[in-house]
Chains A and B, each alone.
Chain A
Amino acid sequence: MPPPRLVLRGMVGVRQGRRLWGPLTLALSAGSALHLQGPNGSGKTTLLRTLAGLRAPAAGHCERDGEAWFIGHALPLADELDALANLRGWLGLSARVDDAVLQAWLDQMQVPRQRPLRQLSAGQRRRLALAPLALQPRPLWLLDEPFDALDAAGQSALCALAQSHLASGGALVLSAHQGLPAGFPACEALWLGPADWVGTVGQ
């Protein structure tokens, strides 16, 4: 039994005084993936932000084993800067980054590196969000709608990243409205339903 990467104990999410989900109790072991499902406004983003430690849960708590990447729906990229400068800033927050590595990665992903980001398409910007996952390994990924605006090539790149992440003992939680593409690793599903719904996914 691999050690759990993420453990939730009786966690409840509340937003604007309304209970969104919970109490949730589950453990996510190394190498497993969880797919959050539910209608708009059911609290998928809130759950991901809580798991990342950006929000405090209204009750209960969660334990992470190691660091997590949280990639939200909005990307921490500045329109005025080019792709290279943006990634340098983002990845540089946690570790030293080598420009040559970034440039090689951008070329491989076919993202123009010298043009300001406002001239790039939504899909090209979204591809940049794969950079932290590819270049700075962390044991837990929390991805909010990562397939949004990605084309087929981008989607298969993310699928390949997720495969190797899980194979190397990582875990991931993601939300995806359109369902997962065929190449994506098998996921357990967690339905964040109407407000009084209580969900547990056993291991």
Chain B
Amino acid sequence: MNLCLAILRRELALAWQRPAELARHALFFVMTAALFPLSLRPDPATLALLGPGVLWAAALLAVLLACGRWFDEDLRSGWLDQCQLAAQAAELPLALPLAMRFVAQWLLVAGPVLLAAPLVALQFDLQGAALAALMVSLLLGSAVLVQLAGVAAALAAGLRGAGLLTLLMVLPLATPALVLGTLAVHAAQQGQPAGPALQLLAALLALASIACPWLGAVALKQAVGD
């Protein structure tokens, strides 16, 4: 328990010292999504058609770009060593502190994007049920994306050019979340229930939450022991 709290607290304290980092992810999302209404035909029907896809793709890139080099500094400074030793001493799996790290990263990266999303959605005339579907799908989907990116970052920890590698590894794995997320919003726009797609997305999140911390822990142990 101490282990989890200490990790969460340190990550939040570090993020507090770098507020520009937090704003950068949200700004990337807002700028990417805002360029489309300006460059497309300014016609409500077109915007409503393209809106879900554009918003989701922009959010996906914003989250993935933020997650390239999570573990490099922690590996260099020996912080990961100390996490592993503390987990060993408490006879806990390393997956537990890693899961905590994912939670912190999700709050810090997906949080600002989620806060900005309703404003950007106005540009695409997303309202009511469609907006609700967008927010719920982003909430679930961003948690999946952060965990996938975390596993990739753990695999690439300590390698040069790891940022690009992470992105390449995660993009194909992230597509199911993208497809399900946009499906939910499209369904809500047409007055159909968004529930089935959101439930599948929630199932995806459950799967990722079980598998990703373990996979990431295996990769990090390898990086620490090298």
- Interface of A toward B, CB cutoff 8 Å: 49, 52-56, 67-70, 72, 74-78, 80-81, 85, 88-90, 92-96, 116, 138
Contact = CB atoms under 8 A, between A and B. Distances in A.
Contacts of A78: 10, 14, 73, 77, 79
B104 interface: no
A175 to B, nearest CB: 15
Interface in B27-46: none
B17 interface: yes
Given A75-B78, A90-B82, A94-B2, A67 B225 contact: no
Given A70-B85, A88-B10, A93-B3, 10 more contacts: A53-B85, A70-B81, A74-B76, A75-B78, A78-B73, A81-B17, A85-B13, A89-B10, A93-B82, A94-B89
The 7 tightest CB contacts between A and B, nearest first, are A92-B6, A89-B10, A93-B86, A80-B17, A76-B79, A67-B89, A72-B78
Nearest to A81: B13
Contacts of B142: none
SS class, residues of chain A in contact with chain B: loop
A181 to B, nearest CB: 24
Interface of B: 2-3, 5-7, 9-10, 13-14, 17-18, 73, 76-79, 81-86, 88-90, 224-225
Given A54-B225, A81-B13, A89 B6 contact: yes
Contact of B18 (A49, A74, A80, A94): A80
A86 to B, nearest CB: 8
B7 A76 contact: no
Contacts of B17: 80-81, 116
Contact of B82 (A76, A88, A95, A96): A76
A74 B78 contact: yes
Nearest to B81: A54
Given A93-B3, A94-B3, A54 B84 contact: yes
Contacts of A72: 78, 81
B13 A89 contact: yes
Nearest to A69: B85
A101 to B, nearest CB: 15
A95 B85 CA distance: 13
A56 B221 CA distance: 10
A52 B77 contact: no
A89 B85 contact: no
A33 B78 CA distance: 24
Contact of A93 (B14, B73, B78, B83): B83
Contacts of B86: 93-94
13 contacts: A55-B224, A67-B89, A75-B77, A76-B77, A77-B77, A78-B79, A81-B17, A88-B9, A89-B6, A89-B13, A93-B2, A94-B2, A94-B89
B84 A81 contact: no
A92 B97 CA distance: 12
A74 B158 CA distance: 15
A81 B225 contact: no
Given A75-B78, A92-B2, A95-B2, A54 B85 contact: yes
A171 B63 CA distance: 47
B49 to A, nearest CB: 44
Nearest to B82: A76
Given A80-B14, A93-B82, A53 B88 contact: yes
From A55, A70, A76, A81, name the one whose CB has the most chain B CB atoms within 10 angstroms.
A76
Contacts of B9: 88-89, 92
Contacts of B89: 67, 94, 138
A130 to B, nearest CB: 15
Contacts of A93: 2-3, 6-7, 82-83, 86
Given A92-B6, A95-B2, A76 B81 contact: yes
